C-alpha cells in the first residue's frame, strides 16, 4: 500500500511484482516449446485439431475474462471477512496456475509413436491387419493439448492476471510511482520470459528429437517455475495490503453492463485499438521463431553457427531479452522526461519498423536472425507503457462513473489482443497444414516458408504502425491532466462538482445510495432502471430520450443480433464441410467455421441480453430517466464526449 503522498517502497514494488516472474517463465516455456513439442516430438499432434482448440480457448476467454473481472471488482467480503478485492483470487491462482501448466506438459506416453507401433504389432501378431489398428496418438494428443491449453488460457491465467493487474493499478494514484511500478513489473516479465525460453533447452534432446519416447524434462522445469510462482504469490497475499476502496457496486454487474461500461470510456477505447500490436506482436513472433530457425534459416546453418537449432533459438531469445531488460529503464527515463503518451507513440513506430527487418532473414542467415532479435528487443521493451497509460485511464473512469473498476479495465485492456490471437495463433498453423507442412522433410516448400516469414515480420509490423495511427486520437496525454483527474475524484468524494480536464465540462458527483439507486445532479434514478440502462451506450440512450421512445433502444441491438445470426451461416457450412478431415487429423476449414460460429455466439449473447433488457424497461422508467437526463444539457454533452459512441 502506498504512503499518504503516493510513494511506494522498493520492498512493496518487489513483493507485488515478483510473482510475474514465475508466471511468465511458465507462460513462455509453453509458448516457446509446447506447440513444437506436440507437433514434432512423440505426441505428433494434429495441427488442425490443435488449431481448433486454440480458437475455442480464445472464444471462451472472451466470456470468462469479463466475469472474473466483474467478480474481483465487486468482491468485498468472503465468509464475512474483508480479505480485499484481489487477494482471494491471487491465493487461488497460486495453486491452479502451477497445476495447469504442469499437466499441459504431461501428455501420456501412450500417445507416443512407440505406443502406436506396439498397437500395430499386436494386431499383426494376433492375425489382424495392422492397418486396422486404431490411430489414436495424433488426435488424442491434440485433444490433451487442447484441454489443458483451455485450462491454462481460459481459467488459470484469468484468475491471476486480472486481479494482479488491478492490484498494481490500485496501489497508488501517483503517476510517477505508477510508471516506476510498471517498470518493475516489466523487469520481472523480461527475466521470466528469458528463463522460460532458455531453461527448457535442457530438455531439448529428450523432448524435441525422440518421437518414440516420453518426455519428463519439460514437466520438471514447469514444476520448478510453478513452485517459484506459488510461493511468491502466497507471500504477496500475506504481505501486500490493498488500498481502501470506495463506491464499489453492492452487487456484481452482469456481463454486458461491464463490457458496455469499459467501452464507453473514450481514451480507453483508443488504447484498445492501438493495442492490436499485442495480439500480433507479443505472441506470434515467439511462437513462430522456432519454425523460422528450422525452416527459413535452416537446421544446417543453425548447427554450423551454434551447434543445434535449439541453441540458435536460445541465442535469439537471450539476445532479445538481454537487450530488452536495460532498455526497459531507458523507456522509463524517456517517459519521465517526455511524457508517457509521446514515448508510447515512438515505441509503436519503432516496433513496426523493426519487425519488417525480419523479411531479410533467409536460408543460411543465422547470425542475422540473432542481430534482428536484438533490434526486436530494443523496440518491444517499451510496450509496458500501455499498462501505465491504462492505469491513468482507470482514474478517469472513476471521475466519470464514481466507481473503481480496475479489474474490468485490466480485462478489457487484453480483450482486443486476445481477439487478434485467434488468427495470430491458429491461422498460420492452419495454413501451414493446408500447404503440407511436414516436420519429417529436410525442408519445407516455399508456401510454408513464406507463411512463417510473414508471421514474424509483416503481421507484427503492420500492427505496430496501425496502432500508431490510432494513438493520434488519444486525449489523456499529460501529467497535468492526470493531476486534475485525481483532484476531481477527491472533490466528488467530498460532494462537490469537478471539471473534466478532457472535455472542459463541469461534472456533478455521482452518489450511490444504500439501496443501490443513484443520485445525480439533484435527481434519483432507481436501482432497476440503472441496471437496465447500463446495458446501453450513452448515444443510444440520448437517441431514445430525445425521441421519447423506448423502441429506439431496440434498433442497434436487433441489427447486431441479425448480423450475428447471418455470421453463423458460413460458420455452420464450413464446420460441416471440414469436420471429417478435422476428425482424421488432416488439414481442414472447420477451424475457420468455428471462428465464425464463435463470434456469432458471442455477438448473440451480447445483443440478445440487451434486447431482453428492453422487455423489462417500462415507459414509466424511461420517462423518469428522460427527465433526469434532460435536466442539464451539459450532462448530455459530457456523456457524448466521454463515450463518443
**pLDDT band at residue 454, thresholds of 50, 70 and 90?**
confident
CA distance 484 to 478: 10
Q: What is the mean pLDDT of the chain?
A: 79
**pLDDT band at residue 142, thresholds of 50, 70 and 90?**
confident
**pLDDT band at residue 420, thresholds of 50, 70 and 90?**
low
pLDDT at 428: 77
Highest mean pLDDT among 204-208, 262-266, 345-349: 345-349
Question: 448 or 616: which carries more pLDDT confidence?
Answer: 448
pLDDT at 421: 64
pLDDT at 644 over 60: no
Cell numbers for 479: 501529467
DSSP string covering 380-412: HTTTTHHHHHHHHHHHHHHHHHSS--HHHHHHH
pLDDT at 15: 92
pLDDT at 633: 42
**pLDDT band at residue 193, thresholds of 50, 70 and 90?**
confident
**pLDDT band at residue 334, thresholds of 50, 70 and 90?**
very high
pLDDT at 101 over 80: yes
User: Residue range 287-293: average pLDDT?
Assistant: 86
pLDDT at 264 over 90: no
Q: pLDDT of 37-77, one tens digit each?
A: 777 665 567 777 777 787 788 778 878 888 888 888 877 77
Under a CB-based contact definition with an 8 Å cutoff, are residues 70 and 258 in contact?
yes
Question: 539 or 213: which carries more pLDDT confidence?
Answer: 539
pLDDT at 425 over 70: no
Three-state DSSP class for residue 58: helix
pLDDT at 631: 47
Q: Look at residues 386, 506, 429 and name the one whose alpha carbon lies nearest to residue 53.
A: 429
pLDDT at 597: 81
CA distance 69 to 406: 8
**pLDDT band at residue 114, thresholds of 50, 70 and 90?**
low
550: β partners: none
pLDDT at 94: 94
pLDDT at 283 over 50: yes
Highest mean pLDDT among 102-111, 191-200, 576-585: 191-200
pLDDT at 146: 86
**pLDDT band at residue 274, thresholds of 50, 70 and 90?**
confident
Three-state DSSP class for residue 15: helix
Q: pLDDT of 11-41, one tens digit each?
A: 888 999 999 999 999 998 888 778 777 776 6
User: Residue range 607-624: average pLDDT?
Assistant: 66
Q: Which of 182-191, 436-445, 448-457 has the lowest mean pLDDT?
A: 436-445
Q: Which of 140-154, 209-223, 302-316, 496-510 has the lowest mean pLDDT?
A: 209-223
Interacting residues of 380 by C-beta distance below 8 A, sequence separation 6+: 281, 282, 320, 324, 351
Under a CB-based contact definition with an 8 Å cutoff, are residues 223 and 26 in contact?
no
**pLDDT band at residue 618, thresholds of 50, 70 and 90?**
low
CA distance 608 to 256: 10
**pLDDT band at residue 233, thresholds of 50, 70 and 90?**
very high
Question: 339 or 213: which carries more pLDDT confidence?
Answer: 339
CA torsion 451-454-455-456 (nearest 10°) is: 130
Q: pLDDT of 358-387, one tens digit each?
A: 999 888 899 999 999 998 888 888 888 988
Let me know if 446 is exposed, middle or buried by CB neighbors in 10 A (0-12, 13-18, 19+): exposed
pLDDT at 628 over 70: no
Q: Provide the percentage of residues in the chain whose pLDDT is more than 90.
A: 16
The neighbour count for residue 304, using CB atoms within 10 Å, is: 12
Q: Where on the phi/psi map is residue 639: left (φ > 0), alpha (ψ -120 to 50), or beta?
A: alpha
pLDDT at 639: 45
pLDDT at 204: 63
pLDDT at 116 over 70: no
CA distance 276 to 264: 19
Q: Provide the percentage of residues in the chain whose pLDDT is more than 70.
A: 80
**pLDDT band at residue 91, thresholds of 50, 70 and 90?**
very high
Cell numbers for 110: 501412450
pLDDT at 604 over 90: no
User: Residue range 219-248: average pLDDT?
Assistant: 84
Q: Which of 91-95, 188-192, 272-276, 571-575 has the lowest mean pLDDT?
A: 272-276
Amino acid at each position: 500500500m502506498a504512503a499518504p503522498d503516493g510513494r511506494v517502497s522498493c520492498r512493496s514494488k518487489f513483493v507485488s511484482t515478483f510473482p510475474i516472474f514465475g508466471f511468465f517463465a511458465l507462460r513462455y516455456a509453453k509458448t516457446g516449446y509446447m506447440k513444437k513439442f506436440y507437433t514434432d516430438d512423440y505426441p505428433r499432434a494434429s495441427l488442425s485439431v490443435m488449431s481448433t482448440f486454440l480458437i475455442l480457448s480464445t472464444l471462451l476467454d472472451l466470456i470468462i475474462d469479463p466475469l472474473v473481472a466483474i467478480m474481483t471488482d465487486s468482491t468485498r467480503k468472503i465468509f464475512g471477512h474483508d480479505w480485499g478485492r484481489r487477494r482471494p483470487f491471487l491465493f487461488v491462482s497460486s495453486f491452479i496456475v502451477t497445476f495447469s501448466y504442469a499437466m499441459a506438459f504431461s501428455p501420456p506416453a501412450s500417445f507416443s509413436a512407440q505406443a502406436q507401433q506396439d498397437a500395430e504389432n499386436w494386431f499383426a501378431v494376433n492375425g489382424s491387419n495392422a492397418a486396422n489398428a486404431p490411430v489414436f496418438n495424433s488426435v488424442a494428443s491434440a485433444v490433451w493439448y487442447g484441454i489443458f491449453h483451455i485450462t491454462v488460457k481460459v481459467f488459470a491465467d484469468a484468475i491471476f492476471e486480472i486481479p494482479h493487474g488491478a492490484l498494481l493499478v490500485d496501489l497508488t494514484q501517483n503517476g510517477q510511482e505508477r510508471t516506476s511500478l510498471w517498470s518493475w513489473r516489466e523487469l520481472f516479465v523480461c527475466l521470466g520470459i528469458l528463463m522460460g525460453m532458455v531453461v527448457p533447452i535442457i530438455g531439448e534432446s529428450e523432448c524435441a528429437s525422440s518421437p518414440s519416447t516420453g518426455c519428463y524434462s519439460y514437466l520438471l522445469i514447469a514444476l520448478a517455475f510453478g513452485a517459484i510462482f506459488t510461493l511468491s504469490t502466497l507471500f504477496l497475499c500475506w504481505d501486500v495490503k490493498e488500498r481502501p476502496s470506495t463506491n464499489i457496486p453492492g452487487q456484481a454487474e452482469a456481463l454486458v453492463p461491464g463490457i458496455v461500461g469499459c467501452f464507453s470510456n473514450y481514451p480507453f477505447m483508443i488504447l484498445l485499438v492501438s493495442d492490436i500490436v499485442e495480439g500480433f506482436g507479443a505472441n506470434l513472433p515467439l511462437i513462430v521463431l522456432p519454425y523460422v530457425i528450422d525452416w527459413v534459416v535452416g537446421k544446417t546453418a543453425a548447427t554450423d553457427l551454434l551447434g543445434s537449432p535449439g541453441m540458435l533459438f536460445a541465442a535469439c531469445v537471450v539476445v532479445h531479452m538481454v537487450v530488452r531488460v536495460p532498455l526497459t529503464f531507458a523507456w522509463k527515463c524517456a517517459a519521465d522526461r517526455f511524457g508517457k503518451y509521446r514515448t508510447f507513440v515512438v515505441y509503436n513506430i519503432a516496433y513496426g519498423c523493426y519487425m519488417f527487418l525480419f523479411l531479410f532473414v533467409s536460408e543460411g542467415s543465422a547470425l542475422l536472425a540473432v542481430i534482428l532479435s536484438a533490434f526486436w528487443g530494443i523496440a518491444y521493451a517499451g510496450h509496458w507503457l500501455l499498462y501505465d497509460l491504462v492505469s491513468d485511464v482507470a482514474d478517469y473512469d472513476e471521475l466519470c462513473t464514481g466507481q473503481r473498476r480496475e479489474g474490468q479495465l485490466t480485462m478489457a485492456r487484453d480483450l482486443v489482443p486476445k481477439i487478434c490471437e485467434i488468427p495470430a495463433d491458429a491461422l498460420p498453423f492452419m495454413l501451414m497444414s493446408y500447404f503440407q507442412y511436414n516436420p519429417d522433410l529436410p525442408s519445407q516448400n516455399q508456401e510454408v516458408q513464406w507463411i512463417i516469414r510473414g508471421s514474424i515480420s509483416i503481421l507484427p509490423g503492420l500492427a505496430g504502425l496501425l496502432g500508431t495511427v490510432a494513438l493520434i486520437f488519444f486525449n489523456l496525454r499529460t501529467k497535468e491532466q492526470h493531476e486534475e483527474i485525481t483532484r476531481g475524484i477527491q472533490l466528488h468524494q467530498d460532494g462537490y462538482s469537478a471539471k473534466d480536464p478532457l472535455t472542459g465540462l463541469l461534472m456533478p458527483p455521482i452518489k450511490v445510495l444504500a439501496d443501490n439507486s443513484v443520485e445525480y445532479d439533484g435527481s434519483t434514478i432507481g436501482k432497476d432502471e440503472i441496471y437496465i440502462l447500463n446495458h446501453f451506450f450513452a448515444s443510444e440512450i440520448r437517441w431514445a430520450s430525445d425521441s421519447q421512445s423506448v423502441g429506439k433502444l431496440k434498433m442497434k441491438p436487433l441489427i447486431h443480433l441479425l448480423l450475428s445470426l447471418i455470421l453463423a451461416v458460413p460458420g455452420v457450412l464450413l464446420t460441416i464441410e471440414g469436420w471429417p478431415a478435422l476428425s482424421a487429423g488432416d488439414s481442414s476449414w472447420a477451424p475457420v467455421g468455428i471462428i465464425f460460429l464463435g463470434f456469432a455466439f458471442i455477438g448473440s449473447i451480447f445483443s440478445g441480453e440487451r434486447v431482453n433488457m428492453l422487455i423489462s424497461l417500462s415507459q414509466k422508467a424511461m420517462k423518469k430517466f428522460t427527465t433526469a437526463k434532460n435536466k442539464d444539457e451539459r450532462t448530455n454533452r459530457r456523456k457524448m464526449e466521454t463515450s463518443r459512441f
